């Protein structure tokens, strides 16, 4: 029970990595505030955790706004009395090359994928300081390290998260608040299926991309959630300001 007695918030908990992370945190003893803009899916996540014997709270909130972030933190603290872990995971994706990406789409990605995480961290840190420390896990991406011509805005925001992580690790280190990013490759989630559906032949695209991975498979959400659990726990007590690349060996490839 690596998170026994801890209280965590997971954003984007209605599906994919966020849902898996909420379950893993609960399985290891944390009380979990499950946050998503989709009230139905996040309610299902929280109910499944409760049914399995864990403690959880479903919070419907838009983390691209100040109000949404403030509410998710206040409701979690009111329900469970503290805050020790934040998994800033929620993200949206817009397909298209730069010239096809509208200013509104760029601003929308910035508000959710980058500014949303910054808002959450700024509001969560004081509560972690009261607990003499905490862990913040940010879901970035391999696309914050390498490029994709059809995802320039998404990659820019994920690269920004990596840079922000380093600065905040320096700021909050004296408070024993650790901040790290996870940089996954392709994860078999609805967001990835959107990418495949954008291609001329989705099934061919899935097969071709899968074969690029040395492990010959795409990541599951639980693969990433297991790393989030490690970073959230005391097992990672001397890790801060760094990226954990979880890509099945993809970035080891030159050609």
Q: Provide the token pair at 249.
A: 């060996």
d(CA 21, CA 27): 10
Report the pLDDT averaged over residues 215-243.
98
Angle at which helices 202-212 and 190-198 cross, to 10°? 120
- Would you state the pLDDT for residue 253? 86
Report the pLDDT averaged over residues 147-169.
96
- Would you state the pLDDT for residue 229? 98
Q: Is 197 exposed, middle or buried (0-12, 13-18, 19+ CB in 10 A)?
A: exposed
Class assignment of domain 7-187+220-252? alpha beta
Within 8 A by CB and 6+ apart from 31, the residues are: 6, 7, 8, 54, 55, 56, 57, 79, 80
Let me know if 238 is a catalytic residue. Answer: no
Angle CA 29–235–113, to nearest 5: 75
- Confidence band (pLDDT; 50, 70, 90) for 254? confident
DSSP letter string, 63-119: TTSHHHHHHHHHHHHHHHS---EEEE-------S-GGGS-HHHHHHHIIIIIIHHHH
- Give the active site residue among 154, 198, 213, 238: 154
Q: Is the pLDDT of residue 193 over 90?
A: no
Q: Provide the token pair at 132.
A: 């003499």
Mean pLDDT estimate for the chain: 96
For residue 74, give Cα distances in angstroms to 69, 95, 123: 9, 34, 9
Q: Is the pLDDT of residue 190 over 90?
A: no
What is the pTM assigned to this prediction?
Answer: 0.95
| Number of neighbouring beta carbons within 10 Å of residue 202 | 13
Q: Is the pLDDT of residue 194 over 90?
A: no
d(CA 19, CA 163): 26
- Helix H or strand E encompassing 195: helix 190-198
Convert the pLDDT of each residue in 119-137 to its tens digit: 999 999 999 999 999 999 9
- How is the chain split into domains, by residue range? 7-187+220-252
d(CA 109, CA 183): 18
Q: Is the pLDDT of residue 198 over 90?
A: no
Tell me the torsion sign for CA atoms 13, 148, 136, 52: positive
d(CA 222, CA 233): 16
Cβ(185)–Cβ(247) under 8 Å? Answer: yes
- Confidence band (pLDDT; 50, 70, 90) for 199? confident
Q: What is the largest CA-CA distance in the chain?
A: 52
Q: Is 81 exposed, middle or buried (0-12, 13-18, 19+ CB in 10 A)?
A: exposed
């Amino acid at each position: 029970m690596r998170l026994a007695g801890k209280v965590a918030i997971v954003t984007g908990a209605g599906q994919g990595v966020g849902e898996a992370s909420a379950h893993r945190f609960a399985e290891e003893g944390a009380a979990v505030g499950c946050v998503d803009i989709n009230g139905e899916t996040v309610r299902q996540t929280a109910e499944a955790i409760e049914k399995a014997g864990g403690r959880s709270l479903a919070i419907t909130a838009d983390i691209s706004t100040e109000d949404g972030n403030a509410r998710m933190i206040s409701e979690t603290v009111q329900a469970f009395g503290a805050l020790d872990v934040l998994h800033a995971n929620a993200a949206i994706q817009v397909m298209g090359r730069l010239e096809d990406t509208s200013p509104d789409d760029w601003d929308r990605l910035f508000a959710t994928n980058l500014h949303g995480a910054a808002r959450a961290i700024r509001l969560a840190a004081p509560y972690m300081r009261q607990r003499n420390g905490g862990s913040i896990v940010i879901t970035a991406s391999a696309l914050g390290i390498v490029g994709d011509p059809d995802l320039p805005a998404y990659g820019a925001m994920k690269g920004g998260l990596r840079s922000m992580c380093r600065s905040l690790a320096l700021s909050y280190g004296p408070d024993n608040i650790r901040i790290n990013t996870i940089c996954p490759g392709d994860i078999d989630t609805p967001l990835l299926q959107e990418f495949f559906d954008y291609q001329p032949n989705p099934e061919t695209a899935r097969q071709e991309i899968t074969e690029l991975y040395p492990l010959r498979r795409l990541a599951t959400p639980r693969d990433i959630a297991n790393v989030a659990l490690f970073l959230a726990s005391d097992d990672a007590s001397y890790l801060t300001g760094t990226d954990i690349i979880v890509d099945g060996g993809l970035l080891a490839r030159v050609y």
